Structure 1
Amino acid sequence: MKTDLSQKLFAAAKKVIPGGVNSPVRAFRNVDGDPFFVRRAKGSRIEDVDGNKMIDYVGTWGPAILGHAPTSVIEAVHAAAKEGVSFGIPNPYEVEMANKVVDWVPSVEKVRMVNSGTEATMSAIRLARGFTGRDKVVKFDGCYHGHVDSLLVAAGSGALTHGEPDSAGIPNAFAAETIILPYNDAGKLEELFAKMGDQIAAVIVEAYPANAGLILPQPGFMQLMRDITKKHGALFIMDEVMTGFRVAKGGVQELEGLMPDLTAMGKVIGGGLPVGAFGGRADVMDFLAPDGPVYQAGTLSGNPLAMAAGLAQLRELDRQSGYQRLEELGARLEAGVRGILQEKGLGYKFNRVGSMYCLFFTEQEIINLDSVMTCEKEPFKKYFYSMLEQGVYVAPSPYETGFISMAHSNDDIDDTLEAMNVALGKI
């Protein structure tokens, strides 16, 4: 594929932007390459500045559930923009969006809008600490909740140790308030609460961990989190920034029949514009200012353009019976991938839920971060560049989830499977 203009743009970007990118994964470091720059995107396709067109399975890292630039969303943004792009004053879209979230998400009685998934998880953690009067927070290794200081931590040397900073610039004292456990390890969770249950403000978990591939919970593990937090007076926070409104109307909690105390949301509800939200039990949410003692604010929260875009996207999903169609497309891709793997004698693992999927370049069963990290980098690199040359764009990392949109057609899926057959044949 041609990359002349992308190379020039990247060289220019590196002079004025750290690493040449505004988010690290875009830098192509996991595939030892340089990124391309996109000129436009429409439907299931993206086109880079050099004119290369590709079927896209990154989908803005999740928000583009209808595909890129859907007419209904573009029209909604245009209509809203004509009345003003930002007010810093309550607007009707905020109320409509709040009602939609409360209607669709089983556990949410009240919701507050923010501007990113990171803001949503950060605010939910602060609220949990304020509500419970406790400081300790439990998260799971491999679950990413945005670049929040107290959550951007790695596991310590012992099974029940406090976290250690996973980035420069995070004080040890911040990380020390976070306890890291291996995902899908019920025994470790029970042991921790037996020792420290009265100190824990909350357990936070990606509903289905989707920032280290796509890891699915073992039977009973999610319910244990719900039960053990309730028993010890801690809050259960489900991070549905990725999965919310993506796998079902009510997200994973609808599929699993769970009622968390708080839920972090984002991506799909912004229609591609910056957005986040957190919501949950009314008595907990009422601890937020101006009614309660927990301060949280945002100049652009509830921005009319983001609210209009998100509402248009959710309405369109509902109108088109979107989740049924996305499941059909996902099942078509899964059947094809499994057939290719079997034909080629490859023991790679493939996980899928609805329109989210991940092909793991390992023969290990995928149950936690340790198993994900057994993925082989070199075979993935060959696969990635072969797919790119054939006009299919997948995430430039072996540890990312892929996303199917309503704009993908059966032919898109079949063309993708043909490309995968070729790419996996080169490994």
Structure 2
Amino acid sequence: MSNDTLFQEALTHFPGGVSSPVRAFRAVGGTPKFFRKAWGSRFEDEEGRRYVDLCMSWGPLILGHAVPEIISAAVEAMQEGLTFGAPSRRELALARRIKSMVPFLDKMRFVSSGTEAVMSALRAARGYTKRERILKFDGCYHGHSDAMLVKAGSGLVTFGEPSSAGVPRGFADLTTVISLDDLEALEATFDKLGHELAAAIIEPIPANNGLLVQDTTFLRRLRELCNAYGVVLIFDEVISGFRVAPGGAAELLGITPDLVTYGKIIGGGMPVGLYGGRKDIMAVISPDGPVYQAGTLSGNPVAMAAGLATLERLTPNVYRSLDQKGAQWAAAFEKMPGLHVPRVGSLLWPLFQPGVKRADRVESGAIARFNKMHGLLLKEGVYLPPSGYEVAFLSAAHGDEELAHVERAIGVVAAALKNED
């Protein structure tokens, strides 16, 4: 059945025909691809066309699609029961493995998504500090809970503004939003509001509005200010966790947060999230403390098994290989005239604009150029995330054959773009 036919039916079932907005291809144009199977670094759509996948389910598949050992672990768990709604030994096994990779993680709680992890971490911070205000940074995405769908106001230090319909004004009033890479705004915010802040939440490697790599000076100053004002520093490592280093961005940057959120890789392709950190903060979580949080599928044994099978295979050699691949693939993309590729390990951001560290500095022309490139690469069997604001992901399964395929495609597309100019 054709992608067009499937999408027309999908439009009768789902808003925009999709279960998550970016999948609708509204940003890049065209019809979404419906995929029927995947292996390694490739997948095949319902029309039988095959693609090199540079989205990799938005990050969880660091080892590739359909890794036999991960599937075997999940199947073994399924044969013992899909869900218990009760403790299982697999939760303990995954928790031990995570603690071995993230030494500062005293206690943790498994949930079912990154959004849920962030929402819960913020509630824990408010319960611990007995304060209500949250600080976040423009260009960092923390899921779709009401308090996080807030954009910056018009002044240096202002109340936030709802960035989605349906978000009550009151949530925005308790969220302050400032720009990344702006020490003046950071200092002014803590000077004015520091004693009101329960938490400051940031992607230490912002990778949801492009790859906005920050100067460590900015991040270290944020850590210092949180210490000075008794503010809980939350690192949202749903993307960077276990991707850029065994201990995520916290290890790579040498900065320890008070709480951290994870997702994606720790589920090995299954839905999962986690929040955790200092034991004195986590002590406020029910049933030990007064902050309520619960979930029917939290600690799901199948997700625990898939996550453990993934983390057990993330050896130092895998991380070294991913970093080397990242450099090779970035260099290949940069053969496209005018294309720049900021990179951290196996995270890449193809953008027709250099040196961007803030979301408000991304030029519309750069995104329009990406949109053209996206459609042309798709015709050549290369699947990039369908938005110029999203990063590309490499996996251990991306090899020389796939790189050669992409390099050929880039040559074809570069020629086509030149003819359009």
Q: TM bucket by the smaller chain?
A: over 0.9
CA deviation string 1:105-132 (max 9, x = no partner): 1321111100000000000000000100
Give the aligned partner of residue 84 of structure 1: 81
User: Residue 141 in 1 paired to residue 131 in 2?
Assistant: no
Give the aligned partner of residue 276 of structure 1: 273
Contact 2:348 2:391 in 1 (8 A): yes
Give the aligned partner of residue 391 of structure 2: 401
RMSD of equivalent CA atoms? 1.2
* Deviation of the 1:335 alpha carbon: 2.5
User: Residue 362 in 1 paired to residue 341 in 2?
Assistant: no
1: CA distance, partners of 2:413 / 2:224: 45
CA deviation string 1:260-308 (max 9, x = no partner): 0000000000010100000100111111000011111001000000000
> Per the alignment, in what secondary structure is the counterpart of residue 192 of structure 2?
helix
Aligned match of 1:323 in 302, 319, 322? 319
Give the aligned partner of residue 212 of structure 2: 215
2: CA distance, partners of 1:418 / 1:137: 47
Give the aligned partner of residue 341 of structure 2: 350
Q: Tell me which stretches of 4 or more aligned residues in structure 1 moved more than 3 Å.
A: none
* Deviation of the 1:373 alpha carbon: 4.1
1: CA distance, partners of 2:66 / 2:184: 46
Give the aligned partner of residue 413 of structure 2: 423
Aligned match of 2:23 in 14, 26, 30? 26
User: Residue 124 in 1 paired to residue 121 in 2?
Assistant: yes
User: Residue 195 in 1 paired to residue 195 in 2?
Assistant: no
Give the aligned partner of residue 290 of structure 1: 287
CA deviation string 1:32-86 (max 9, x = no partner): 2220100001100010000000000000000010100100110001100000000
* Deviation of the 1:212 alpha carbon: 0.9
- The percentage of counterpart residues that share the same residue type is 46
Aligned match of 1:241 in 238, 243, 263? 238
* Deviation of the 1:425 alpha carbon: 3.1
User: Residue 112 in 1 paired to residue 121 in 2?
Assistant: no
User: Residue 163 in 1 paired to residue 160 in 2?
Assistant: yes
2: CA distance, partners of 1:193 / 1:273: 39
2: CA distance, partners of 1:256 / 1:87: 38
What letter matches 2:269 in structure 1?
A: G
1: CA distance, partners of 2:129 / 2:153: 25
What letter matches 1:303 in structure 2?
A: N
What letter matches 2:332 in structure 1?
A: G
Give the aligned partner of residue 227 of structure 1: 224
TM-score, with length taken from structure 2: 0.97
2: CA distance, partners of 1:336 / 1:6: 30
User: Residue 380 in 1 paired to residue 362 in 2?
Assistant: no
Contact 1:361 1:398 in 2 (8 A): no
Aligned match of 1:47 in 41, 44, 48? 44
* Deviation of the 1:374 alpha carbon: 4.1
Contact 1:327 1:355 in 2 (8 A): yes
Contact 1:203 1:237 in 2 (8 A): yes
Give the aligned partner of residue 254 of structure 2: 257
Contact 1:163 1:178 in 2 (8 A): yes
Contact 1:106 1:254 in 2 (8 A): no
> Per the alignment, in what secondary structure is the counterpart of residue 27 of structure 2?
helix
2: CA distance, partners of 1:203 / 1:388: 39
1: CA distance, partners of 2:104 / 2:223: 12
1: CA distance, partners of 2:13 / 2:51: 28
2: CA distance, partners of 1:61 / 1:181: 26
TM-score, with length taken from structure 1: 0.95
CA deviation string 1:150-198 (max 9, x = no partner): 0111111212111111111110001110000001111111111111110
**Unmatched runs of 5 consecutive residues or more in structure 2:** none
> Per the alignment, in what secondary structure is the counterpart of residue 146 of structure 2?
coil
Contact 1:114 1:275 in 2 (8 A): yes
Give the aligned partner of residue 56 of structure 1: 53
What letter matches 1:57 in structure 2?
A: L
2: CA distance, partners of 1:360 / 1:370: 14
> Per the alignment, in what secondary structure is the counterpart of residue 101 of structure 1?
helix
* Deviation of the 1:375 alpha carbon: 4.7
Contact 1:360 1:375 in 2 (8 A): no
2: CA distance, partners of 1:68 / 1:420: 23
* Deviation of the 1:349 alpha carbon: 2.7
Contact 2:216 2:253 in 1 (8 A): no
Aligned match of 2:34 in 31, 34, 37? 37
Contact 1:213 1:399 in 2 (8 A): yes
Change (3 A) 1:268 1:185: same
2: CA distance, partners of 1:186 / 1:105: 28
- How many aligned positions are there? 417
2: CA distance, partners of 1:317 / 1:238: 21
